[in-house]
Structure formats: C-alpha cells, structure tokens
Amino acid sequence: MRGPALMLAGIGLFGLLDANSKLLSAGHEVWQVLLVRFATLLLVVGVARALVPGWGGPLATRFPRLHAARAVVMLGSAICFFQAFRLLPLAEGYLVFFTSPFIVLALAAWTLKERPPAVAWAWCGVGFAGVAIGLAPGLVGMASGAPVLGYLYALGGTFCYSAVFTLNRQLRAEPGIGRVLVWPSLLGFVVMLPLGLSHWSSPSPLALAQMMGNGLLVGLATVCLAEAFRHASASRLAPFGYSGLVWSLTWDFAFWGRIPALAMLAGAAVVVFACVMSERAAARK
C-alpha cells in the first residue's frame, strides 16, 4: 500500500498548496509568490545536500532537453493554476483539472506513440460531458469575462500538468529526486526573479510564512508523487488522483464556507466515474 498512500498524500499536499495560493492571491501578485516558492525550495534542497552529501541523487542528467521541457511546463502549470484559483473556487478549478487523464491519453499517443484503446477515448467523451455539466451554469448569462478567463487558466494549467506526467514517463529511467526538484525550481527562480522583484510588495510575517510554506508543500507533493510511481503502476494509482475532488471541496468549505452546487457535484461525479472506468479499461488491456 506504499504507492497508494504516497499518492493520496501527494494529492492532499497539492490541494493544500492550491488553497494556500488562493489565500495569497488576494493580496500578492503571482510573480512574488512563485519567486519565494522557488527560492525556498532551492534553499531547502541546498541545505539538505549540505547536511547529507549526495542527498537526492546526482543532478547531472543524460536528458537535458527533457528536463528543460519539464521545467517549462511545470512553471506554466504553477502560473496558470495560481491565476485560475484567483478567479475560481477550488472545486470549479479542480473540475477542469479532472480532464487531465484524457489529455494524457492524447499526449501519450502523440509523443510516446502509444495507442490507447477505443474504449478509453469513449470514456474521454463522457468525462468532458461531465465537465460541461459542472461548468455550464456558471457560464450561462455571464456578463463579465473574468470567470471564463479563470477556466482558460485552469485548462492551460491542466495541459501543462498533463505534459509533466508524459515527460516523467520518458524520464523514468533516471532515479533520484534531486533532478526532479532542482531543475524546475532553478528555472522558476531565474524567470521569477526580475518579475517578482518588480512586483514586490512587503508581505506580512504570516504571508511570508505562507509563501515559504508553498515551497515546502510543492517539494513534498512532488516527492510523494514521484515515489508513488516507483512503488506501484500508473493503472493502480490513477484512480487515487481523483481524491483531489474531495480535497478541493473540503478546502473550499473549510476556508471559504462554499457549499458546492448540485450541478457541480453531478458533473464531478460524471468526471470521476469516466476517469475510473477509463483506467480500468486500460488496465484490462
């Protein structure tokens, strides 16, 4: 059960990260928040390697282009999800996020030359129908374009997140978590440094602690998910990813007192059902 337990822990940590980022988005720009996040993560890894020489394994890689691409899409995912949750409740953002398994199918067919069975594509259609059920009430009669922009950010973040999984599969021959943490954090820090400083506003001690906490959360979540896939197959772990829905509804209620609408619950149920059935069909194949 080590793999499923780590998967649940990783998804829960990412849910807490998203909730914390949403709280920060009310008073701080994404560039500042991400700058502190990446700086904190690099500092933690540096201290860990100083205390335990070689912690996390070697940083050199035989696949620099794949690591560069992974770092870019991870940065895109962080920016898009931060902006999405600035505009959307967590539950609505996660409903869009649950299209990720179907995007992974398409990316795997394109980049890895895998051939997903027809039944997987059929469940993909059912999953997108669930997304439509959940989002339709919020889109009908909308006077402002801001929520629509939130959905677009969520979709962009979901695409980037899905690309990370595809790249992880291509990099699975390289063990160790050092590369997994350092290269995306280094790129993020370099990109965010001028943007973060130009948009810097003095944070309160609590806000600074939250920003630094984001670095710890994203590091722990990344390690949990990476280790989960070392102990169990993707087909076994994939259904546990939909525990994110429980986390999103829980954080939405705990921090903002939002009770999900019936359409949201119905759409989420359809998405979860479609994803689980798709994974079951892939496992039988």
pTM of the model: 0.79
Q: In the predicted model, what is the mean pLDDT of the chain?
A: 82
CA 30, distance to chain mean position in Å, is 16
208 in Cβ contact with 57 (< 8 Å): no
Give the 3-state secondary structure of residue 214: helix
Give the 3-state secondary structure of residue 90: helix
Closest residue by Cα to residue 157 from 266, 76, 269: 76
What amino acid is encoded at 82 in this protein?
F
What amino acid is encoded at 247 in this protein?
W
- pLDDT band for 157, please (50, 70, 90 cuts): very high
- pLDDT band for 122, please (50, 70, 90 cuts): confident
Averaged pLDDT for residues 102-117: 73
130 in Cβ contact with 278 (< 8 Å): no
Cβ partners under 8 Å of residue 147, min gap 6: 87, 88, 138, 139
DSSP secondary structure letter of residue 99: T
Averaged pLDDT for residues 138-165: 77
Q: What is the pLDDT of residue 138?
A: 64
Widest distance between CA atoms in the chain = 59
Q: What is the pLDDT of residue 143?
A: 46
Which spans in 88-204 are helix H?
90-97, 100-111, 118-139, 146-170, 178-198
Closest residue by Cα to residue 269 from 249, 244, 241, 245: 245
What amino acid is encoded at 23 in this protein?
L
- The predicted-structure confidence for 35-92, as pLDDT tens digits, reads as follows 999 999 999 999 999 999 888 888 988 889 999 999 999 999 999 998 888 888 777 7
Q: What is the pLDDT of residue 172?
A: 74
